[in-house]
Amino acid sequence: MKTLIYKHRYLILRRFTQVLVMALYIIANVYGINILMGNLSSSMFLGLIPLSDPYAVLQMFSAGAILTFDIIIGALIIMTFYAIVGGRVFCSWVCPVNMITDLANYLRRTFGFNQIQKKQPASRNIRYWVIGLSLIISFVLGITAFEFISPISMMHRGIIFGLGLGWAAMLVIFLFDLFVLKNGWCGHICPLGGFYSLVGRFSLIRVKHDADKCTACMECKEVCPEMQVLHMVTKESIPVLSGECTNCARCIEVCDDDALIFSIRNKNNGEKNEIN
Amino acid sequence: MKSGVTKKEPISSRRRFFLDMARAVGLATLGGLTWSAYVDEVSASKLTLRPPGALKEEDFLATCIKCGMCVEACPFDTLMLAKPGENKPLGTPYFIPREIPCYMCPDIPCVPVCPTGALDIKSLKSEKKELDINEADMGLAVVDAENCIAFWGIQCDACYRACPILGEAITIEYSKNERTGKHAFMKPIVHANACTGCGLCERACVTEKAAIFVLPREVALGKAGDYYIKGWDKNDEKRLENTNSEHLKQKKDSKSVLDSLNSGMEGLY
Ligand code: SF4
Ligand code: SF4
Ligand code: SF4
Ligand code: SF4
Ligand code: SF4
């Protein structure tokens, strides 16, 4: 039992923070306990500190909206936070869609879909194209383009304010990830994930690989939602430097040989090895 | 063994790069067009009523971050965020007066919480620089004279009494019922300059489907244009001076117009 918990310690913590964030928003809406008011698009922490989604604010900017002081400060706070802890910490520790895509991925592994469909037919760079497109469309139409279709905000708002037909969008992502493309939404398409990949490129918290301990069991690559970032496994003792790593720590948990650990990035560990 | 098929020339990496690039651009354009078409469609709903102080619809759509803080602040649960399937710009706040109207709170709690300024507090300040909900402009009530029972001669003033600015936004017009000769009509008349579009009248209306209902102003109001002049307003004379009467004169004399038609016909035979 104890080892089971230990083997899933980060997973449990992650689910806990995901649910906690949601719960704080819900109690603010339903009971008026205003620790965290609003939603992931923009909120007010303790009735004092504004927080806003920097990607949404970027879209507002290209749509030609006049940005208020609050919203700029809010976006800067969030940007700074994720620039330090690793951009995609948002993805694995906060975003509600992560639970759906993790489930789809888990089922893929259990049913062995990954063995059948080895080669993934789509590029992981699509997400960066989607970012570019969203900004262009925002500019041309004068509205926040991704925010009008975002399943992330849709689901998150849905949980706090009522979902409507939003469940259909959730189902589409689930089925897409399960049957069409492994890590399809989060790993290939989601522009918010792409945005946070860029934000977290130089972040301090990094998973570090120790090639001497590695026994090449490949468990880590099996569970990693962005396995291209683990290219050094078995080969080199360097940290994972790609911003696409979500810092979910699943690799750390599944590694029975302690070859992967969290570390703080410092000047002399492998800046030169940095790729994208 | 010699095969008849000549080996394909390997594509140079330079060419491959350009090819991949072209493909990506093509796909992106395709995706972008679909995406814009969809977004354009969902954001084109003209009948959405916004919270007090909302910017002009197009600015509102660019500015509102869909955080729902206005929704949380409203003590009457008037406001909702549009969900998928409601045919409204997704995630933006709106209200349905017949269900829950805006109760026109004097302190307007929904507005100052808006972090983006999509609800503009300045637009709700009176001349004395105080917050004044009567400055709100959520829409305009319109009476359907066919189905308003007061227009039938039945006595009903539910909407009039429900209006928070009664006497200004709605007045009752008395007129004689010529048919019976001894009854009166008491018809509700909405005045666009005072009505805030709160929808309390729509909520109160006794008919099965409200005979008075709020529409966004751009939808509810017509526009006469500059051609028409009331003639009794103070400033009408001034407006006359400024009108450019050119377009009232015919530029060409009618003979040349006829000639042009006739000469045009000749060519046909
Ligand atoms: S990639 Fe997008 S949907 Fe997936 S967890 Fe990150 S933000 Fe959420
Ligand atoms: S004025 Fe009051 S009732 Fe009307 S939307 Fe705002 S908070 Fe709600
Ligand atoms: S508070 Fe402002 S930004 Fe937030 S949903 Fe309401 S109008 Fe939009
Ligand atoms: S919407 Fe109706 S109740 Fe509200 S101000 Fe206008 S006339 Fe009065
Ligand atoms: S409440 Fe309805 S039916 Fe009655 S006077 Fe007003 S609009 Fe007409």
What pLDDT score does B237 carry? Answer: 64
Q: What is the pLDDT of residues A218-229, one digit of tens each?
A: 888 888 888 888
Residue A110 in contact with residue A103, Cβ under 8 Å? Answer: no
What pLDDT score does B241 carry? Answer: 64
HSE-CB for A180 with a 13 A CA cutoff: 14
Q: How would residue A167 be classed by pLDDT, with cut points 50, 70 and 90?
A: confident
Mean pLDDT of B214-236: 81
HSE-CB for B155 with a 13 A CA cutoff: 2
d(C-alpha B158, C-alpha B174), whole Å? 16
Measure B63 CA to ligand 2 centroid, in angstroms. 20
Measure A67 CA to ligand 1 centroid, in angstroms. 25
Please tell me the least confidently modeled range out of A118-122, A143-147, B104-108.
Answer: A118-122
Q: What is each CA distance from A199 to A90, A155, A192, A265, B61, in whole angstroms?
A: 11, 23, 10, 15, 26
Q: B249 exposed, middle or buried (CB, 10 Å; 0-12, 13-18, 19+)?
A: exposed
d(C-alpha A228, C-alpha A124), whole Å? 9
- Please work out whether the CB of residue B141 comes within 6 Å of at least one atom of ligand 5: no
Query: Relative to the alpha carbon of A174, which ligand is closest?
Result: 1
Does the pLDDT at position B95 exceed 90? yes
Does the pLDDT at position A274 exceed 50? no
Q: What is the four-CA torsion angle of B70, B76, B82, B86, rounded to 10 degrees? A: -170
What pLDDT score does B238 carry? Answer: 67
What pLDDT score does A57 carry? Answer: 93
Q: What is the pLDDT of residues B11-20, one digit of tens each?
A: 677 888 888 8
Name the average pLDDT for chain B. 83
Antiparallel, parallel or unpaired: β A49-52 and A205-209: unpaired
On whether the pTM is more than 0.80, the answer is: yes
Please tell me the least confidently modeled range out of A145-154, B50-59, B134-143, B242-251.
Answer: B242-251
Positive or negative CA dihedral for B226, B227, B228, B232?
positive
| Residue of chain A with shortest Cα separation from B120 | A68
The answer to whether A149 contacts B117, with C-beta atoms less than 8 Å apart, is: no
Q: Comparing C-alpha atoms, which of A56, A249, A23, A275 is closest to residue A154? A: A56
- SS3 (DSSP) at B119: strand
Mean pLDDT of A236-247: 84
- SS3 (DSSP) at B175: strand
Q: How would residue B181 be classed by pLDDT, with cut points 50, 70 and 90?
A: confident
Please tell me the least confidently modeled range out of A54-68, A234-248, B66-80, B83-97.
Answer: A234-248
The answer to whether B62 contacts A168, with C-beta atoms less than 8 Å apart, is: no
How many CB pairs below 8 Å do chains A and B form together?
140
HSE-CB for A116 with a 13 A CA cutoff: 11
- Please work out whether the CB of residue B51 comes within 6 Å of at least one atom of ligand 2: yes
Q: Comparing C-alpha atoms, which of A18, A3, A265, A274 is closest to residue A156? A: A18
Q: How would residue A215 be classed by pLDDT, with cut points 50, 70 and 90?
A: confident
Residue keyed to tokens 């001669």: B153
Higher pLDDT, A31 or A119: A31
Residue B144 in contact with residue B211, Cβ under 8 Å? Answer: yes
The answer to whether A39 contacts B43, with C-beta atoms less than 8 Å apart, is: no
d(C-alpha B200, C-alpha B163), whole Å? 6
Mutate to test the interface with B, among A128, A157, A171 (most CBs of B within 10 A): A157
- Please work out whether the CB of residue B198 comes within 6 Å of at least one atom of ligand 4: yes
Could you give the ipTM of this predicted complex?
0.84
Measure B85 CA to ligand 4 centroid, in angstroms. 28
What's phi and psi for B3, nearest 5 deg?
A: -95, 150
Query: Relative to the alpha carbon of B170, which ligand is closest?
Result: 4
Higher pLDDT, A231 or B239: A231
What pLDDT score does B242 carry? Answer: 59
The answer to whether B83 contacts A144, with C-beta atoms less than 8 Å apart, is: no
Q: What is the pLDDT of residues B230-265, one digit of tens each?
A: 777 676 666 666 555 555 555 556 777 677 766 665
Higher pLDDT, A1 or A248: A248
Does the pLDDT at position B173 exceed 60? yes
A136 touches chain B (CB under 8 A): yes
Query: Relative to the alpha carbon of B141, which ligand is closest?
Result: 4
Mean pLDDT of A237-262: 84
Measure B233 CA to ligand 4 centroid, in angstroms. 26
